[in-house]
Amino acid sequence: MTAYIVRRLLFMIPTLLGIMLVSFVVVQFAPGGPVERVIAQISGSDTGATSRISGSAGGDFGSRAQMQGANQFDPTTSKYRGAQGLDPEFIKSLERQFGFDKPAHERFLIMLKNYLTFDFGKSYFRDVRVIDLIKEKLPVSMSLGIWMLLLTYLISIPLGIRKAVRDGTPFDTWTSGIIIIGYAIPGFLFAILLIILFAGGSFFDWFPLRGLTSDNWHRLAWWQKILDYFWHLVLPILSMGIGAFATMTLLTKNSFLDEIRKQYVLTARAKGCTERQVLYGHVFRNAMLLIIAGFPGAFVHAFFSGSLLIETIFSLDGLGLLGFESVLNRDYPVVFATLYIFSLVGLIVNLLSDLTYTWVDPRIDFETREV
C-alpha cells in the first residue's frame, strides 16, 4: 500500500501541472483582463464589478490618465479596447503592475515556482495577500460544506438502506416521492421560500437572514455562541442539502438492492444468518464501495462549488462568492490560487477515498494495480 500511495502522490504533480497549464492558456485567450478593467473604470464605461478597484490602481493611475492628452495616443501601439486618449506609458505602467510586461510562458513558470511554496501573491484589486483572503473566507465554506456533508450522509445512508430493505412497500413509495420533489426544487428557490416562511419574509421570524453569527456573538457565553452559530446555519444548510439528499439516498438504495439480490446473500440466509447479520455483515461492505466512490466529488462540490447562490442569498462571504467575484473582476491571482487549492484538495480526497476502500473491504489490493 505504501508504494501505491507514493505513486499516487507523484501522479498528482503532472495532474496539477496539466490543470494549471490548461487554465492558464484559456485565460490568455479570454476577452478582457485586469488592464482592460482598470481602463474601463477610468474611462467610465465600467460601473460594476470593478468598483472595488483599489486607489493605487484607480486613483493614482486615473489622475495620471486624465492629465494625458488624446493626441499622445497612437491607436496602432495599443492592444486594449477603450485605451484611446491614454498615454502609452500609462498603459505600460499598468502592465508592469499586473505582471503583463513579461511573456506568457515566463509568467506561468513564475506562478508555478511561487505556488510550490503556497505563495499566491497579492490580489490585483484588493490590497491584501491572496492566502489571507482565502483564510478569511474559508470558515464560511467549511461551515457550510462540513455540516451539509455530514447531514447528508447521516440521513441519506440509513434512509437508503431502509428503502432497499422495504423495496416496493408504501414507505418506499412515499419517501421516493418526497425525495424526487426535493431533488426537482432548485436550492436557491428553496432558500428564498425558507426566507419568506421563516426569516421574517411574510410569516415567521424564527431564523436570521444573513451572516454566520450575531452582532453580539463575542459577548455571548460559550454555549450561547454554539447555539447562535447553528441557529444561523439552519436555513443555508437546508437550502444546500435538499438536492444532495435525493442523490445519495437513491444511490444507497440501488447499491444495496443490487447486492441483496446476489447469490452470496441467499447462501448466507440459507446458513441461518439473521437479516441484520446478512445486511451489515455481508451486504454493507460491498454496497458501500459505490457510495465511497462518489465521496470525493460530493466533498469538493459541498466545499467549493455548491454554495455560490446560497452564500449570495444569505449574505455569507465564502470561497464560492470570492471565486465568482474574482472571475468577474479578472483578479487572476485569486482565480488561479483557488483553482490550485481546489484541485489539490480534490486529488488528496480522491486518494483518501481509495484508502477507505481497503478499510471497508480488505480484499481490495491497490498494490497490484496501476495508477
Q: What are phi and psi of 129, to 5 degrees?
A: -70, 145
Q: Would you state the pLDDT for residue 86?
A: 64
Q: What value does the mean pLDDT take over residues 353-365?
A: 71
Taking the C-alpha atoms of residue 306 and residue 298, their distance in angstroms, rounded to an integer, is 9
Residue type (1 letter), 329: N
| pLDDT range class, residue 61, cuts 50, 70, 90 | very low
| Sign, Cα dihedral of 278, 280, 285, 287 | positive
Q: What value does the mean pLDDT take over residues 32-56?
A: 60
pLDDT tens-place string over residues 178-215? 888 888 888 888 888 888 888 876 788 888 888 888 88
pLDDT at residue 18 is higher than 90:
yes
Domain with CATH 1.10.3720.10 in the chain: 131-368
What does the DSSP 8-state code read for residue 199?
Answer: B
Report residue 30 as a C-alpha cell.
479570454
Q: Please state, in angstroms and as integers, the Cα–Cα distance from residue 62 to each residue in 56, 66, 68, 297, 368, following that order.
A: 9, 6, 10, 45, 63
- Those residues whose C-beta lies under 8 Å from the C-beta of residue 213, and which sit 6 or more positions away, are 225, 228, 229, 232
CA angle 258, 259, 263 (to 5 degrees): 110
pLDDT at residue 57 is higher than 50:
no
pLDDT at residue 338 is higher than 70:
yes
Report residue 220 as a C-alpha cell.
455571548
pLDDT at residue 263 is higher than 60:
yes
Taking the C-alpha atoms of residue 324 and residue 316, their distance in angstroms, rounded to an integer, is 13
336 in Cβ contact with 108 (< 8 Å): no
pLDDT tens-place string over residues 70-90? 334 444 345 666 556 566 777
- Those residues whose C-beta lies under 8 Å from the C-beta of residue 191, and which sit 6 or more positions away, are 235, 236, 239, 309, 310, 313, 314
Please provide the CATH number assigned to the domain covering 131-368. 1.10.3720.10
Report residue 244 as a C-alpha cell.
444532495
Q: What DSSP line would sit under 283-297, residue for residue?
A: IHHHHHHHHHHTHHH
Strand partners for 124: none
pLDDT tens-place string over residues 215-227? 888 888 889 888 9
CA end-to-end span of the chain, whole Å? Answer: 12
Q: Would you state the pLDDT for residue 60?
A: 43
pLDDT at residue 21 is higher than 90:
yes
